[in-house]
Chain A
Amino acid sequence: MTSQAPTHHHILPFRTYMLVTAGLLILTAITVGISYMDFGVFNLLVAMAVAVGKAALVALFFMHLKYDNKIYLMVFMVALLTLGVLIFLTLADTMTRGDIDIEETGPINPRAAMYLKDTTSAATPDSLVEGRADTAAVDTTSISPGEE
């Protein structure tokens, strides 16, 4: 019988499960209640904070992560971290695409080489090279290749 002793996991008291469930139901009531009010961006933040709190209760107590070998918690955190990187990097792209839309926002740096032709459409290539000093709108010093 002694060989079986290690297989016995930490058995949580009945009370703990009831308290966790009560916590989950209370948090649900809070998040539903707040959804009937309008706090602007705050609504999203509260809803997500409550969801994270509920998820933590489920993971730590129902899934025993708090009491088990910490390697399971690590696997769980690796999943969340990977997901975080995936979401952050993708949104960093999709939410900032308009920022470099030249039709909507114009050039980021009007003096960048790629815009040179547009901003000096009146000037011919010759005048750019020869008349550098009198081209008031565009300073070509830093962008002429081989002219460092």
Chain B
Amino acid sequence: MSTESTDKHLDFLEHHFSTPQQQAESAKLGMWVFLLTEILLFGGLFLAYAVYRSWHPEMFYNAHLFLDRELGTFNTVVLIISSLTMALAIRSMQLGKRKQTIWMLVATLALAAVFLVVKYFEYSHKIHLGQLPGKFYTFDGIEGNNPHVFFSVYFLMTGLHGIHVIGGMFAIGWVLRRTIRNDFSSAYYTPIEMTGLYWHLVDLVWIFLFPLFYLIG
């Protein structure tokens, strides 16, 4: 009886790991190495931002006035709260409270959707005005050299971030489905934890995008 229940409890343990702890720590190390590549992926774009801003400081200032500071602040708060609900989803599963985890994951998904809806309105406003990257830039009214460069960097960075938000929603949806299916317990919740790390990184990137574009241009 006792061996049977132990086996059932450990059926998440893959045969090439000797203990659940080793398995969990391996997964987490792999996840962190992936996050390292993500930081460098966004890092290249942050570098592009720094170079262009140092070349055209006045143009960056004039162009950033066309971003909506209120909407940016709202989205920042939305992402912070979604990071909280994600962290609480993991905590709930650590305590074995499956129902709570489900609601926290649903809340995180909803907040991610709110972020994207706000982003949609911001983007469509800019597309309407012709504040677009490169040769698609048709707006007339920003002083300084090469204002299209600002919007190239803006759309590339917030666009890549938006793609990550969508990717995060798929990951959250996946662990939500598995939580509902009763795959996890206080002994095994690695996929939720990895999704959480990814989601926090998405928040981390936005923490830098927000001031650089909306506040100080």
Contact = CB atoms under 8 A, between A and B. Distances in A.
Nearest to A72: B32
A78 interface: yes
Given A55-B204, A83-B40, A50 B211 contact: yes
A112 interface: no
A140 B55 CA distance: 38
A87 B80 contact: no
A86 B204 CA distance: 19
Nearest to A91: B50
A15 B19 CA distance: 31
Nearest to B37: A79
Contacts of B84: 17-18, 20-21, 62
Chain A binding surface SS class = helix
User: Is the interface on chain A under 10, 10 to 19, 20 to 34, or 35 or more residues?
Assistant: 35 or more
Given A7-B188, A79-B35, A94-B54, A31 B28 contact: no
Main secondary structure of the interface of B (DSSP, over half): helix
Contacts of A55: 204, 207-208
B69 A35 contact: yes
Given A17-B88, A55-B207, A6 B19 contact: yes
A114 interface: no
Given A47-B211, A94-B51, A24 B9 contact: no
A54 B207 CA distance: 7
Given A21-B81, A25-B77, A69-B25, 8 more contacts: A7-B21, A17-B87, A21-B80, A32-B73, A35-B214, A55-B208, A59-B204, A79-B36
Interface of B: 6, 9-10, 19-21, 24-25, 28-29, 32-33, 35-36, 39-40, 43-44, 46-47, 50-51, 54-55, 69, 73, 76-77, 80-81, 83-84, 86-88, 91, 94-95, 186-188, 196-197, 200-201, 203-204, 207-208, 210-212, 214-216
